[in-house]
Amino acid sequence: MPPKKATEDVKSNVVAFGRVRKNLKMGCVGLPNVGKSSLFNLLTDQNAAAENYPFCTIEPNEARCAVPDDFLCDLWKPPSMYPAYLQVTDIAGLIKGASQGEGLGNAFLSHIQAVDGMFHIVRAFDNDEVLHVDDSIDPMLENDQPVRDGSWTSAEIELINEKMQLITTKPTIYLVNLTQKDYLRQKSKYLPLIAKWVTSHGGLPRDIIPFSIEFEEKVYTFKDDKEGSEKWLQKNGGGKVKSRLAKIVTEGFEKLGLQYYFTAGEKEIRCWTIPRGCLAPQAAGVIHGDFERGFIKAEVVAYQDFHDLCEGGKSMGPIKAAGKYRQEGRGYEVKDDVAPVKK
């Protein structure tokens, strides 16, 4: 009988709302024409329809984007490199009355239920050329407290996960789409209003990421011209304003309770995605089921320690000398580590 392969479900010590898996999804949600499909295209390098009319997106578009983390690859330059990925879904625009059948009705709500977290895109500018389904811009949302921000015991969270599929349990990042002008000058009259609503409803300032579709699309035109990109950024913003796409992907990945560890060598560097709170044997099992069953110990070094102490080389000597290279057993909760696994 062939050995058991790695599975999608991974055990975690952390009790949280939603599924505990390594292939979780973030959904792009928001009102029609706020930039959802444009952002999806930028994140995933796709060409999903992004026209200026409601319900341009009918069925959800799905793709994945690499989580940016190039330090080890730049250091060792192996022939093969496998990053961690964030799965992203572009969902049709939400309109008032969806639960009563307006717009795409319950089909829309089922699309949101199918994802594990949300990028809530909010358009923070006036533009007569962009259609708005309610004929006005109002960044404030209804004043209900999300379930995810309540105080719950582990048993209550497990019961809610089992019996209910509440949208308000899903972790949310608020992406505030500014004009290029506002983004370059880092000012918007709408940002304080949006920040006030988010923080008064259990969110944190870090849950808000201002960005600009207009700016990102311009930067994207220079994707194969690094010198041209640097010149344009220097001219527009003095070189101080950068793309936020990498931050959006990284924050989305972390918001889902995901993390990764590296296996690294001369032939390949690979990221292995695991849920936060995953123990060492289960993390090893993501590579192959035999590794979990035969797990003895893991030799690990924290990613940041490796970054700070490797001195630009491949030797673990300086790291061991600093006492940062260690052995961990079956009860070790894996962090963002560089870890050769032994069985």
pLDDT at 336 over 60: yes
3-state helix, strand, coil in the chain (%, to 5): 35, 20, 45
Position 80 in a domain: no
Least confident stretch, 136-145, 170-179, 301-310, 313-322? 136-145
CA gap 70, 331 in Å, rounded: 29
Position 142 in a domain: yes
Residue 270: which CATH number? 3.10.20.30
> Model's pTM, two decimal places?
0.78
Listed residues 236, 255, 274: the one ending a domain: 255
pLDDT at 137 over 50: no
Position 280 in a domain: yes
> Do 149 and 242 belong together in one domain?
yes
For residue 220, what are the contacts with CB-CB under 8 A and spacing of at least 6? 42
Count Cβ atoms below 10 Å from residue 8 Cβ, excluding itself. 9
Percent of the chain exceeding pLDDT 70 equals 70
Question: Taken in order 11, 254, 29, 61, is the CA torsion positive or negative?
Answer: negative
Longest dimension (CA), the chain: 65
> Do 224 and 192 belong together in one domain?
yes
**pLDDT, tens digit, for every residue of 61-76?**
888 899 998 888 888 8
> Do 144 and 49 belong together in one domain?
yes
> Do 246 and 317 belong together in one domain?
no
Instruction: Report the range out of 74-78, 120-124, 172-176 with the highest average pLDDT.
Output: 172-176
CA gap 12, 280 in Å, rounded: 10
pLDDT at 179 over 50: yes
For residue 74, what are the contacts with CB-CB under 8 A and spacing of at least 6? none
pLDDT at position 10, please?
A: 52
Position 296 in a domain: yes
Strands 297-302 and 326-328 turn out to be antiparallel
**pLDDT, tens digit, for every residue of 251-273?**
999 999 999 988 877 788 899 99
Residue 271, both tokens: 């990221």
Residue 102: which CATH number? 3.40.50.300
Q: How confident is the model at residue 39 (pLDDT cuts 50, 70, 90)?
A: very high
Position 273 in a domain: yes
pLDDT at position 74, please?
A: 84
Number of structural domains in the chain:
2
pLDDT at position 26, please?
A: 94
**Closest C-alpha to 286, from 4, 2, 11, 7:** 7
Domain that holds residue 274: 259-342
Position 73 in a domain: no
In which element (H, E) is residue 327 found?
strand 326-328
Listed residues 231, 255, 279: the one ending a domain: 255
> Do 207 and 276 belong together in one domain?
no
pLDDT at 3 over 50: no
Least confident stretch, 39-43, 78-82, 143-147, 228-232? 143-147
pLDDT at position 180, please?
A: 95
**Helices and strands in the chain: count of H runs, count of E runs:** 13, 13
Position 1 in a domain: no
Mean pLDDT of the chain: 78
Listed residues 225, 255, 285: the one ending a domain: 255
